[in-house]
């Protein structure tokens, strides 16, 4: 891992994944899904449903990226994935049901420690989001998470989902900062691996206490929360 002083001196921009890193995707969607599933008479675990949904969404987004055709919007991947999961679970549903669940992504709240931690970081660095979300979804989310990011960038501009190298390169060009001056922060291993392989410094926010696989592209820093990141970097 890189020492903190080196990270501080080289970092000009802290760039964040949004879903699951800045906002509580699992918890927020679980709360929405719990009432929805109860109304449908489904007796399964809402948390497991959301995990299944998110894993299916990730798999489908990677299929879309590997096809190397026109980029499919995040919302459309979401509709496809939720429908797929409910079909497998035997939950009767309508198109309106699918749209309702996916739309909840736009209303997700921050993890409790995030506003304070990012406020401390913003006193020293520019803060930027690079998200797999669609531009209009990310715009709608601003009033719910309330973080005044200096820029919010969608991978739609790179015509692919993260962790494609083109997404990180596009983000660096957009903000006019070289890759080695960007510290990319994510709760997802795949995102940290992608950003590091593309040339950025990375921070893995290990909220779930999971070991990082032995990739050659290891994070420069591993923290348990955004508060710890701010304590070290701000």
Whether 1 shows a pLDDT value over 80: the answer reads no
Question: What is the tens place of the pLDDT at every residue in 69-118?
Answer: 999 999 999 999 999 999 999 999 999 999 999 999 999 999 999 999 99
Whether 171 shows a pLDDT value over 80: the answer reads yes
Which pLDDT score, from 0 to 100, does residue 65 have?
Answer: 94
**What's the mean pLDDT in 152-161?**
97
Q: 135 CB contacts (<8 Å, ≥6 apart)?
A: 154, 156
**What's the mean pLDDT in 148-170?**
97
Under the banding of pLDDT at 50, 70 and 90, the label for residue 18 is very high
Provide the CATH topology of domain 25-107. DNA polymerase; domain 1 (1.10.150)
Which pLDDT score, from 0 to 100, does residue 2 have?
Answer: 80
pTM of the model: 0.96
The two three-digit tokens of residue 146, written as one number: 């309330």
Residue 184 CA to residue 108 CA, distance in Å, equals 21
Provide the CATH topology of domain 4-24+108-233. Rossmann fold (3.40.50)
| Residue showing tokens 């909220």 | 207
Which pLDDT score, from 0 to 100, does residue 48 have?
Answer: 97
Q: Where are the alpha helices (DSSP H) in the chain?
A: 4-10, 25-40, 46-67, 74-89, 95-103, 114-122, 135-145, 165-175, 189-198, 226-233
Percent of the chain with pLDDT over 70: 100
| Residue ranges covered by each domain of the chain | 4-24+108-233, 25-107
Which pLDDT score, from 0 to 100, does residue 140 have?
Answer: 98
Residue 69 CA to residue 11 CA, distance in Å, equals 34
Which pLDDT score, from 0 to 100, does residue 173 have?
Answer: 98
């Amino acid at each position: 891992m890189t020492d903190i002083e080196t990270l501080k001196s080289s970092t000009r921009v802290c760039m964040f994944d949004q879903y699951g890193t800045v906002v509580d995707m699992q918890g927020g969607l679980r709360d929405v899904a719990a009432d929805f599933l109860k109304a449908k008479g489904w007796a399964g675990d809402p948390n497991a449903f959301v995990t299944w949904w998110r894993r299916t969404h990730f798999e489908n987004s990677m299929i879309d990226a590997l096809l190397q055709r026109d980029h499919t919007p995040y919302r459309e991947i979401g509709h496809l994935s939720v429908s797929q999961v409910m079909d497998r679970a035997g939950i009767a549903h309508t198109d309106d049901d699918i749209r309702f669940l996916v739309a909840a992504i736009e209303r997700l709240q921050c993890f409790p420690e995030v506003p304070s931690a990012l406020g401390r970081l913003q006193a020293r660095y520019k803060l930027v989001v690079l998200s797999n979300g669609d531009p209009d979804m990310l715009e709608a989310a601003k009033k719910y998470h309330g973080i005044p990011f200096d820029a919010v960038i969608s991978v739609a501009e790179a015509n692919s989902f993260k962790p494609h190298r083109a997404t990180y390169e596009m983000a660096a060009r957009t903000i006019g900062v070289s890759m080695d001056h960007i510290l990319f922060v994510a709760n997802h291993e795949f995102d940290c691996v992608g950003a590091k392989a593309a040339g950025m410094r990375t921070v893995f926010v290990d909220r779930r206490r999971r070991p990082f696989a032995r990739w050659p592209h290891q994070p420069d820093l591993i923290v348990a929360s955004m508060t710890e990141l701010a304590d070290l970097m701000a």
